[in-house]
């Protein structure tokens, strides 16, 4: 019975991928027409960050008229800081007015202060930290390529929440979100043990999966196995859906964002492809208050790398073009209307006419 169900689920997913290939061809044709009449890519000639940008910023692109409602026409993309090797996992701390983010190869967590615009080291070494979020008590939850999931207590001490599942070591936890019931959902694709650049090279004891951890009992359950390398994830504003980005599909194959129905806040059902990222892939993803998915995009180049914005009905409506791959992102600021983007070696931000969903 289980085998039949898995076969049926696989057939549905394959059918979804074929359908999205057709949609993608249609989109690329339309996009090519739009690009021909658009202002030249602002990064093609190089942007001088010391010079002002003429509004509206040409690197913020409306692919669909609906995106006009979300862009702030008198705001430009700002490079806040540069000096990382691979920036990841930004998270906003409103009570302290700062953003924490990981710099994985340098094995450190950095802190950007809103009031001074200064960046300093928050923690080093950081056990090769990657994705970060906050729990319902405001504590920092961190995925570490050092094969564990941790929580930083209010006094600064670090509590290990998970290192093993059924006696076997986790591979390299990657990204994490917290459900309103307190459950911690995280991906474990294993990138940190594939070499010595983002962690310590090691053996896979468990396959790539998505887990849910009950912080009270420390019990872990497997919630998704359909992705080859599950990466970024986020809930819809009402937490009825969970989106998961897959960055591990073979070259030439689609790199989809999956969506699931969340059942009883503890398990997933009805796996399906939400969006095909095409030649590139989505890394970190976040949701705004209207259910749009803001996806860090990369590995294609000029005109693709940055952020892609997909509506709840699976339509690409907007793009934020960056000169670097965007690995992850978060909504920040008092009003949650400032998008922070971890762009490989740099941190970027832009004010928007929308807000991040009221979730970690």
- Each residue's pLDDT tens digit, 4-51: 343 444 445 444 444 444 444 443 333 333 333 333 444 544 577 778
Return the pLDDT at 249. 67
CA Rg, the chain, in Å? Answer: 19
- Work out the average pLDDT over 266-276: 97
Return the pLDDT at 29. 38
pTM: 0.88
- Dmax of the chain from CA atoms? 64
Return the pLDDT at 9. 47
CATH of domain 2-351: 2.120.10.30
In tens, the pLDDT along 162-180 reads 999 999 999 999 999 999 9
Mean of the per-residue pLDDT values of the chain: 89
In tens, the pLDDT along 126-162 reads 999 999 999 999 999 999 999 999 999 999 999 999 9
Return the pLDDT at 46. 59
Return the pLDDT at 252. 62
Are 318 and 273 spatial neighbours (Cβ–Cβ below 8 Å)? no
φ, ψ at 299 (rounded to 5°): 75, 25
In tens, the pLDDT along 108-127 reads 999 999 999 999 999 999 99
- End-to-end alpha-carbon separation of the chain, Å? 37
**72 burial level (CB within 10 Å; 0-12, 13-18, 19+):** middle
- Work out the average pLDDT over 320-326: 96
In tens, the pLDDT along 94-107 reads 999 999 999 999 99
């Amino acid at each position: 019975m289980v085998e039949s169900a898995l076969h049926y689920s696989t057939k549905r997913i394959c059918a979804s991928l074929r359908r999205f290939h057709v949609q993608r061809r249609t989109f690329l044709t339309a996009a090519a027409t739009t690009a021909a009449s658009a202002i030249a890519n602002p990064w093609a000639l190089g942007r001088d960050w010391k010079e002002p940008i003429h509004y509206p910023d040409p690197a913020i692109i409306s692919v669909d008229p609906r995106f006009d409602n979300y862009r702030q026409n008198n705001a430009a993309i700002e490079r806040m800081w540069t000096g990382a090797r691979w920036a990841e996992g930004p998270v906003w701390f409103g009570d302290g007015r700062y953003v924490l983010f990981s710099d994985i190869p340098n094995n450190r967590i950095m802190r950007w202060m809103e009031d001074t615009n200064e960046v300093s080291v928050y923690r080093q070494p950081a056990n090769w930290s990657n994705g970060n979020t906050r729990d319902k008590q405001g504590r920092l939850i961190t995925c570490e390529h050092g094969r564990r999931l941790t929580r930083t207590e209010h006094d600064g001490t670090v509590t290990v929440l998970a290192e093993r599942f059924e006696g076997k070591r986790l591979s390299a936890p990657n990204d994490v979100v917290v459900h309103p019931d307190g459950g911690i959902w995280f991906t474990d694709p294993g990138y940190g043990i594939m070499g010595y650049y983002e962690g310590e090279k090691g053996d896979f004891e468990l396959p790539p999966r998505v887990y849910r951890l009950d912080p009270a009992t420390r019990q872990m359950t497997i919630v998704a196995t359909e992705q080859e390398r599950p990466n970024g994830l986020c809930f819809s504003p009402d937490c009825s859906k969970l989106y998961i980005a897959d960055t591990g599909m073979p070259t030439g194959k689609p790199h989809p964002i999956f969506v699931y129905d969340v059942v009883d806040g503890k398990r997933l059902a009805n796996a399906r492809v939400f969006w095909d990222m095409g030649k590139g892939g989505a890394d970190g993803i976040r949701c705004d208050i209207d259910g749009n998915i803001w996806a860090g995009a990369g590995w294609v180049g000029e005109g693709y790398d940055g952020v892609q914005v997909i509506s709840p009905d699976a339509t690409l409506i907007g793009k934020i073009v960056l000169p670097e791959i965007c690995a992850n992102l978060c909504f920040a600021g008092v009003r949650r209307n400032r998008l922070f983007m971890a762009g490989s070696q740099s941190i970027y931000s832009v004010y928007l006419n929308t807000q991040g969903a009221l979730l970690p």
